[in-house]
Amino acid sequence: MKRVVILLGAPGSGKGTQAKRLSEAFQRPHVSTGDLFRENIREKTALGQRVKAVLDKGELVPDDLVLDMLFERVAQPDCARGYLLDGFPRTLPQAEALEVRLGADVKPVVLHLVVSNETIVERAAGRLSCAKCGAVQHKKFSPPRVAGVCDACGGELKQRPDDQPEVVRQRLRVYSDQTAPLVSFYQSKGQLIDVDGDRPPGEVFRDLEQAIRNAFPKGKG
């Protein structure tokens, strides 16, 4: 049975960290549109060159580019039984396009990570990202064994250009203007589950995992 989970939350709400762990527990691939764009930028593809300035400014990539990239990814065989979406949808047209694509039989479960603005700014300010493999660490919460060096691959850890304070503020504005309306969109369809994200990652993870288990009871695929 196709199971689709959407992680919805502001930048810095912990979506990426939680999505990686949940994808293992839930045995479905983690599909992050932000990671896909950064991969394209690292590899200097035509798409990467087109979207780099948009990401650096903390703005949203136009819906048609996001949808083409996302639908190509979820058409891969590993997504046939479902997937975990992180950072998508981010606008109402994206959510509607996903609904059409999935058809009436597949209703995504939307886990909404609710966090305070102070948490978001603190998390983004200390976040480090590997220039080589894209792994994410944090100066305070998951410091690298050797300063500036990725634990996973030995690459160079840097702050993401869009984690600079003024860009984080812009991303938060974009979130409240364009993405927050998705909360009521999914709430009105009975698909939204709020999870308090202002807690240690292990506690948040347990609640998210439980919510997925409740939404997709065992034995039904």
- Nearest approach in angstroms of CB 180 to ligand AMP is 14
Asked whether position 171 contacts ligand AMP by CB under 6 A, the answer is yes
Class of residue 43 by CB neighbours under 10 A (exposed 0-12, middle 13-18, buried 19+): exposed
Q: In angstroms, rounded to a whole number, what is the distance separating the alpha carbons of residues 5 and 22? A: 10
Question: Residues 77-116: x/- map of binding to ligand AMP (CB under 6 A)?
Answer: ----------xxxx---x----------------------
Decide if 90 is catalytic.
yes
Q: State which amino acid sits at residue 64.
A: D
Helix (H, G, I), strand (E, B) or coil at 204: helix
38 catalytic? Reply is: no
Site residues for ligand AMP, 37-56, by CB under 6 A, read: 37, 54-55
Selecting among 3, 15, 28, 38, the annotated active-site residue is 15
Binding window for ligand AMP (CB under 6 A); candidates: 32-40, 122-130, 148-156, 188-196: 32-40
Question: Between 63-74 and 33-42, two packed helices, what is the crossing angle to 10 degrees?
Answer: 100
Beta strands in 1-99 (DSSP E): 3-8, 30-32, 82-86
- The four Cα atoms 209, 210, 211, 214 give a dihedral, to 10 degrees, of 130
Please indicate whether residue 81 is annotated as part of the active site.
Answer: no
Among 4, 5, 8, 11, binds ligand AMP (CB under 6 A): 11
Residue numbers of the site for ligand AMP (CB under 6 A)? Answer: 11, 33-34, 37, 54-55, 58-61, 66, 87-90, 94, 162, 171
